[in-house]
Structure 1
């Protein structure tokens, strides 16, 4: 983690080491303010893979990312969603996407005979 922090440049708000984890919050704020300036009559909706406490004020909905289709991965999403709600974001907007990507084959391939 320290290596990744060292790669970041200082930000408008201050040193990157201080705002490293809050990047998602500042990113959502920038998008929200830009959209409101462009069209103040429309609601802002931001679908994001990252989250930070306080993001709900900027019209964000957090997507958990691609989730595998094995039961262990789906089970882990319950814990992740509960932990996520501890940051102040309600679990209602927690979007779970079950991935169709698998490393194993569920159905055997059959030769087509015409």
Structure 2
């Protein structure tokens, strides 16, 4: 990805674009979504720029597990005691809008099924 322009999330992590960061560590950040689909809508974004889930390797397994652990932490810190949903979108048909994987954490209302 070094040949490509920085992703929106990389620009947020470097401070080039402002973001509402609710959590950060050496591996990822969690930010509020700018177009929330639920009362609480956070994105857990790895610092490593991986374009889509299809670009994951076995080397990335611990990182993906970490994203879910962070999702649990930020859900608790946001008071999502009645539950929450986590979602990865992969590519255009799934409505992935940034080519940098990110885990959505949605809560604060009753979710419907099927999601759509």
Bigger helix fraction: 1
Structure possessing the higher radius of gyration over alpha carbons: 1
* TM-score in terms of structure 2 length: 0.29
* TM-score in terms of structure 1 length: 0.29
Quick one: higher RCO (CA 8 Å, sep 6+), 1 or 2?
Answer: 2
